[in-house]
Amino acid sequence: MKNLIEIIKLKKDYYVGEVTVHALKGVDMVVTEGEFVAIMGASGSGKSTMLNIIGCLDKPTLGDYILDGINISGLSKNELASYRNKKLGFVFQTYNLLPRTTALDNVELPLMYNSAVKSKERRERALAALESVGLSDRIYHKPNQLSGGQQQRVAIARSLVNDPVVILADEATGNLDTRTSYEIMALFQELNSKGKTVVFVTHEPDIAKCATRNIIFKDGVILRESVVRDRTNAREMLASMPVEVD
Amino acid sequence: MSIKNLFKIALNALLRNKFRAFLTMLGIIIGVASVITMLGIGEGSKVSIQQQIAGMGLNLVTVVPGSQQRGGVQFGASTMQSLKETDVDVILADCPAVQAATPEVRGNGQAVFGALNWPTSLYGENLSYLQIRERSVVSGRMFTDRELSGAGKVCLLGQTVVKNLFGEGADPVGQVIRFKKIPFLVIGVLDPKGLNTFGQDQDDLILAPFTTVQKRVQAITWVQSIYTSAIDSKSTELAAAQITETLRRHHKIKASDQDDFTIRNQTQLLSTFSSVSNILTVLLGAIAGISLLVGGIGIMNIMYVSVTERTREIGLRMAIGGKGRDILMQFLAESMLLSITGGIIGIMVGIAASKIIGSAMAWPIVVLPGSEILSFAVCTVIGVFFGWYPAKKASNLDPIDALRYE
């Protein structure tokens, strides 16, 4: 398997007033194609900074980050933006769907920023993405007509629509109850089994066990890396859980 | 990002807040509508004044007796007897810029027909009167040369006199009326002209040959004024100069002495009124312009609030690949859509309002063809100008901070 993400001696400093905060103090990390990596750590450990850099939202102070064979450390802001548009999919804790906008229009959004995709293709791809997250019957629903889990699935569909090389999820289950969390994790596992690479930030160890590999950050360095042995199958987990009756 | 996608994104964003978008546009709608209506009213008043003055004869050059100094004493103009019938002849002979001239002798008195009577003015003129004052005879005929030279006791009546002596719609031709006890045969009726700019009834008159009025009614040897018509409206100044020169020579006035007459033309009157109505137009336009500016600031305010409120949305758009320029263009497109849509609605409202005011006030409201284009251009500029700052602010946001914004 080829190395999709390669991080070499990466450092990131923030300047808050006159104080320099060393958020990342030399990180080496590799994610190969088809992996499902969970990044863990306490708050302030540098995991979010790491995800921002992997997501091309931020640039390292020192060191190299090679994504899909391209060193992004030297790219301009605009190049980063079009890189994010073509190579990456984001899923956020707070979904970040556009309010009063249908699921379909929300999912189409990333393709609006890609002038190579025409409106007919855009629609087809958005419909396919919504189908792959099981929301074909909700395409004209607006966020306030959807449950939290459904909203997050729309967000996942949005992250899939541009066919990214990697999906980055930042505490994607943070706002959801346990059952819905496992539903979302089941979806991620399903996508992963179809070959999608997933990098997932979480602080819940149970959720992290759904991944294939865990990377634990502490104080700006990698504390521990481990391949998940008895990996949780979220689908089976759901089956064993009592169905809530409202 | 393509222009089509840009406007689709901007439109969707606006449609998410329809009522707010409408309220924002309202400022522009009112601003543009008032600019168009106010300029229309200003222009309408100008046209209306021009029409009325032109109706009095735009080529008209009037000669009245001027004040005169004799032995250091200044005499009042109205007492002067300096204009004579022969002045008309020399003006016509020596002034190439004058195409027609008539002496005028006036007399006020009571016109009587049967049991009815009416106070009015009798105007003694020659045959050129109709041409010079741009009037016509609607019933009957004008007096003839023979009646003029023979001081015939014939007259033409204005509509107001007809109404008061004979009743509405009656035909007085062939009847005999009395003016200062002198019987006049009515031979014609003049066209209706209505009130002039000064509120004077232009139909309240009796027209007769000036010889008749001068000799039989007033018993004087001079004329009270001379009305002349220049060959065209541009030549009134030239005509005035030629008349001055001719009359000074004919009256044997020494180079050191003042004129014993005064010349007035309608262009002076017109330019005075035009400048008044121009000031009116500028004033109204300025007030309307201020309301348009306030509307523009309204757009800026809403866009500014919108950028803050939609910080997370901006962060998301950046995360999924929106460049700073895309965000800038989106917010500019939103403010332009607001201002241009508002502008188009404003133009329609303005034209409708102009029509309503025009018909309600019976005043010709002229919608200047330039004013729509101007308003439209101003709206576009407002959209860009007032949208720029909020849009720039949006495009400079850091995606990480924007996504975390609470």
DSSP secondary structure of A78-94: HHHHHHHHHHEEEE-TT
Q: Is residue B338 part of a domain?
A: yes
The DSSP bridge partners found for residue B263 are: B63
How distant, in Å, are the alpha carbons of A21, A190, B47, B196, B355 from that of B52? 83, 86, 9, 6, 21
The residue ranges of every structural domain in chain A are 34-60+76-240
Instruction: Verify that B244 and B278 share a domain, yes or no.
Output: no
Q: Which residues of B touch A57 (CB under 8 A)?
A: 318-319, 399-400
CB contact under 8 A, A113 and B320: yes
Residues B382 and B380: their CA atoms lie apart, in Å, by 5
Q: Is residue B302 part of a domain?
A: yes
Q: Is residue B61 part of a domain?
A: no
Instruction: Verify that B150 and B277 share a domain, yes or no.
Output: no
Instruction: Verify that B377 and B279 share a domain, yes or no.
Output: yes
Q: Which residues of A touch B312 (CB under 8 A)?
A: 94, 96
Specify the higher pLDDT residue, B42 or A245. B42
List CB contacts of B21: < 8 A, sequence separation 6 or more.
Answer: B14, B15, B338
Average pLDDT over residues B365-379: 80
CB contact under 8 A, A113 and B322: yes
So what's the pLDDT on residue A246?
A: 55
Q: Which residues of A touch B326 (CB under 8 A)?
A: 81, 113
Percent of chain B with pLDDT over 90: 33
How distant, in Å, are the alpha carbons of A33, B91, B151, B299 from that of A48? 21, 101, 113, 37
CB atoms within 10 A of CB B168: 8
Q: Is residue B256 part of a domain?
A: no
Residues of B at the A interface, defined by Cβ within 8 angstroms: 1-2, 4-5, 8-9, 12, 16-17, 312-313, 315-326, 399-400, 403
The tens digit of pLDDT for each residue in B133-186 reads 888 999 899 999 999 999 999 999 999 999 999 988 788 999 999 998 899 999
So what's the pLDDT on residue A28?
A: 94
Mean pLDDT of chain B, nearest integer: 86
Of residues B106, B76, B103, the one with CA closest to residue B87: B103
For chain A, 246 residues long, the average pLDDT of each consecutive 10-residue run is: 90 90 92 94 90 92 92 89 93 92 94 90 95 93 94 95 94 91 94 94 92 94 92 90 69
Among the partner-chain residues B1, B315, B400, the one whose CB lies closest to the CB of A113 is B1
So what's the pLDDT on residue B317?
A: 93
Is the model's pLDDT at B393 over the cut of 80?
yes
Instruction: Verify that B194 and B296 share a domain, yes or no.
Output: no
Instruction: Verify that B134 and B235 share a domain, yes or no.
Output: yes
DSSP code for A72: G
Q: What is the number of alpha carbons within 13 Å of residue B286 lying toward its C-beta?
A: 6
Instruction: Verify that B170 and B103 share a domain, yes or no.
Output: yes
So what's the pLDDT on residue B8?
A: 87
Residues A162 and B51: their CA atoms lie apart, in Å, by 69
Instruction: Verify that B314 and B235 share a domain, yes or no.
Output: no
| B-chain residue closest to A81, CA distance | B321
Q: Is residue B159 part of a domain?
A: yes
Q: Is residue B32 part of a domain?
A: yes
Instruction: Verify that B107 and B151 share a domain, yes or no.
Output: yes
CB contact under 8 A, B320 and A110: yes
Among the partner-chain residues B319, B323, B400, the one whose CB lies closest to the CB of A78 is B323
So what's the pLDDT on residue B78?
A: 57
The architecture that CATH gives domain A34-60+76-240 is 3-Layer(aba) Sandwich (3.40)
Instruction: Verify that B376 and B243 share a domain, yes or no.
Output: no
So what's the pLDDT on residue B69?
A: 59
Q: Per the structure block, which two tokens stand in for B84?
A: 């004579």
CB contact under 8 A, B321 and A110: yes
pLDDT level of residue B70 (50, 70, 90 thresholds): low
Is the model's pLDDT at B77 over the cut of 70?
no
Among residues B250, B281, B299, which one ends one of the domains? Answer: B250
So what's the pLDDT on residue A244?
A: 64
Phi (first) and psi of residue B80, to 5 degrees: -75, 145
Q: Is residue B25 part of a domain?
A: yes
Burial class (CB in 10 A: 0-12, 13-18, 19+), B340: middle
So what's the pLDDT on residue B71?
A: 61
Is the model's pLDDT at B75 over the cut of 70?
no
The tens digit of pLDDT for each residue in B114-140 reads 888 999 999 999 999 988 888 899 989
Instruction: Verify that B141 and B178 share a domain, yes or no.
Output: yes
| A-chain residue closest to B316, CA distance | A96
CB contact under 8 A, B400 and A57: yes
DSSP code for A134: T
Query: To 10 degrees, the CA torsion angle through A115, A118, A122, A128?
Result: -130
Q: Quote the ipTM score.
A: 0.93
So what's the pLDDT on residue B197?
A: 62
Instruction: Verify that B230 and B368 share a domain, yes or no.
Output: no
Number of domains in chain B: 2
CB contact under 8 A, B321 and A82: yes
pLDDT level of residue B274 (50, 70, 90 thresholds): confident
* Containing structural domain, residue B201: 83-250
Q: Is residue B62 part of a domain?
A: no
So what's the pLDDT on residue B289?
A: 85
Q: Per the structure block, which two tokens stand in for A49?
A: 């900074």
CB contact under 8 A, B1 and A115: yes
So what's the pLDDT on residue B120?
A: 93
